[in-house]
Chains A and B, each alone.
Chain A
Amino acid sequence: MNKLVTTIKEAVELSGLKNGMTVSFHHHLRNGDYVLNMVMEEIARLGIKDLTVNASSLFDVHLPLIEHIKNGVVTNVSADYISGGLGRHFSCGVMENPVSFRTHGGRPSDIISGKTPIDVAFIAAPSCDPMGNCSGKYGKSACGSLGYAMVDAMHAKKVVVITDNLVKYPLADWSISETNVDYVVSVEEIGDPKGIVSGTTKITRDPVGLVMASMAAKTIEASGLLKDGFSFQTGAGGASLAAAKFLKEIMLEKNIRGSFGLGGITGYMVDMLNAGCFEKLLDVQCFDLSAVESIKNNPNHMEISAQHYASPTAKSAVVDSLDVVILGATEIDTDFNVNVHTDSNGYIMGGSGGHSDTAAGAKLSMIIAPMFRARLPIITDRVNCISTPGKDIDVLVTQGGIAVNPKNSELKERLVLSGLPVISIEELKEKTERITGKPEKIKKGDRVVAEVVGRNGEILDEIYSVC
């Protein structure tokens, strides 16, 4: 049996891809990814039209996708996250059909259930053998975990692996097994290492970020959840990492040994693992070189699929066992609904990713955000887009105080008893507006350019055109 084909074009032809079908891509190569563009270019050359692109995330490196939309090659897009440069085109209405935003847990759930079936999955792999056993841990384009590609590989009708590091059979320590792979293509480069992972992720030096981070760590300490067996997820943003640093200090001082750290993993979480703060890291995506090295060498740093990470329809997912998650927000309203999809002018610049999955699963879902960015207040009467419903958010930490969702009165009591500066979200909003004033509402366009699908399949919100 020979799965090795010489060109992407040949693989596309052999896959049987036809007009109206769905192709999928993962985002482990992030803004360094070459594969989506290479594949779509060949598909366009072959004259195939009316495709749905189902990508776990899209970055600005994928801007050529806009031409394929204009030319009718792509007529539907589904993604968990779309970065700002690309998002602006969707907000300006480049595509007739609205973008379908899902969560990192909702996407695999819908693929598995057949709600959003994949006809052909194109999987960029930093290492692969000729039969399709592949991994993200090795090779010049190493990205670490391949967690977001695993469900695509298992459930797509056809699977094409594209690699720039073809190794002898069998590749040891594979993430995706040959049992799922139809074709393998070897190319010169699958991505630009500079865009795949950052060299290091650094904690913020911004004084306001540090104040918030310190308050976040104290909030976690006061919540009663910080004890042996503690589990934790945080993002790669500067203030979130600083919160992890402060938390690490508390854990080491009090000799608390957590059970696991989860999520997109940074070097900082690796440091916490190595310092004994956690017994395991469960990794769906690596953010930096330190995380890539760790997942390769440390058996306690384990790769998990997006389904295992966050699927709401799995028999259980790791988010269901999570104690605390620290999340960001572009806006939050007085009902604690959070927007991470659009910017202050209403343009698409993000997406839920694992935001609403972890918020729903964790015992304590914390938003860290400054009271204002530039001149705009972060707290509004109603967010421009509901990405994560307020019922899943427990607390907002800002430099001006900590607002606890009234649904969690026990947490509020604990924080007050610990002497933390608790304030109602309405008061915090007023306090902020005394500094910034109240901004005018964004004028929405008349077209729906994206719909936000909640992790359980409900439509949480619609995003309107801007231009």
Chain B
Amino acid sequence: MLRSLLFLPGNNPNMLINAGTLGADAVIFDLEDAVSPDEKDAARILVRNTMKYMNLEACEVIVRINSVDTSFWMEDINALLPYKPLVFLLPKTNCKDDVLKVCGYLSECEKKLEAEEGTAFVMPLIETAQGVENAFDIASCSKRIKALFLGAEDLTADLGSKRTKDGREIEYARSRLVVAARAAGVDVFDTPFTDVNDDEGILDDALLAKNLGFSGKASISPRHVSAINRVFSPSSEEIEYAYEVMMAIKEAKEQGKGAIALRGKMIDAPIVQRAEKTIAMAKALGIRGDENE
């Protein structure tokens, strides 16, 4: 389960070597924007060796390759596919053809490596107006797609709008991506909050993303990771309520009751579904075990 996704520059050995200790559920080794063209090859080698030799324990690895309109992306995949990143993050995905191009190349590479086809996954990074409008097509075009990812910095540049802290300029894009991803049955991750010194702002921004339906949130600073994890983890009240719901359902079944109420509200299927999800999440995070069951 991914709540926090932390970008780390692919050309910074000190950050790469500490990747597993920064508290993020996943790190995104960045070969794109963080790395200048003349350092692409060095960064690729550093990232490859980090994935080859370092044990990042519970921390998952995502690699942001270069976009399909550059000459670097295929070399990125060649170098890193053998080390099985959780997903490849595909920057500047405008349409499903961009995704299918990468997926086709992944199939070729998997054959060469004699790996099972379709075992490498991708996460399109939606950061253009065209990408937002094509979000559902993109999210549903391949079984390799695990999630969508919103990139607000490039998007606002493309929209000609000013990027602000409260994010009103990306309200539409956020909602559009959540709807598209959920309709396609994949996860969706929110853009980083870029003021690394604003400890309150990150909490508000993460909470907004959670309430909109995002699965988790990216960060460009390790300082934001714990806030994101906190917001995207179920609270003790939510867990308590989820167990109460499940208990009420169990009792109702035992008593042969059809409709049930809890705390003065009717419990219907979506509430039960949410409660199950909360309990599963709490268990996965080791917050609460079976003691309430």
Contacts and interface: CB of A to CB of B under 8 A. Distances in A.
A307 interface: no
Interface in B132-161: none
Given A214-B226, A419-B286, A207 B18 contact: yes
Contacts of A419: 286
Interface string A209-239: 0110010000000000000000000000000
Chain A's interface: helix, strand, loop or mixed, by majority? Answer: helix
A75 interface: no
A208 interface: yes
A400 interface: yes
B262 interface: no
A257 to B, nearest CB: 24
A210 B222 contact: yes
Interface in B30-69: 54-55
A430 B17 CA distance: 15
Nearest to B226: A214
Interface residues of B, number: 13
Contacts of A434: 55
Nearest to B8: A207
B50 to A, nearest CB: 10
A69 B279 CA distance: 71
Contacts of A207: 15, 18, 22, 221-223
B113 to A, nearest CB: 26
B222 A211 contact: yes
A210 B223 contact: yes
B21 interface: yes
Contacts of B223: 205, 207, 210
A415 to B, nearest CB: 15
B18 to A, nearest CB: 5
A435 interface: yes
A111 B242 CA distance: 66
Contacts of A211: 18, 21-23, 222
Contacts, number: 28
B18 A208 contact: yes
Interface string B201-236: 000000000000000000001110010000000000
A399 interface: yes
Contacts of B23: 211, 214
Nearest to B58: A421
Interface in A234-287: none
A252 to B, nearest CB: 14
A445 to B, nearest CB: 33
A399 B56 CA distance: 12
Nearest to A399: B21
Given A208-B21, A210-B223, A399-B21, A435 B54 contact: yes
A214 B199 CA distance: 14
A300 to B, nearest CB: 28
Nearest to A214: B226
- Interface-centre pick from A211, A214, A399, A400 (highest chain B CB count, 10 A): A211
Interface string A57-101: 000000000000000000000000000000000000000000000
Nearest to A246: B226
A203 to B, nearest CB: 11
A207 B15 CA distance: 9
A211 B17 CA distance: 14
A400 B21 contact: yes
Closest 8 CB pairs of A and B: A207-B222, A399-B21, A208-B18, A400-B21, A207-B22, A211-B21, A211-B22, A210-B223
17 contacts: A205-B223, A207-B18, A207-B22, A207-B222, A207-B223, A208-B18, A208-B22, A210-B223, A211-B18, A211-B222, A214-B23, A371-B21, A399-B21, A399-B22, A419-B286, A435-B17, A435-B54
Given A207-B223, A210-B223, A211-B21, 17 more contacts: A205-B223, A207-B15, A207-B22, A207-B221, A207-B222, A208-B21, A211-B18, A211-B22, A211-B23, A214-B23, A214-B226, A399-B18, A399-B21, A399-B22, A419-B286, A435-B17, A435-B54
Interface of A: 205, 207-208, 210-211, 214, 371, 399-400, 419, 434-435
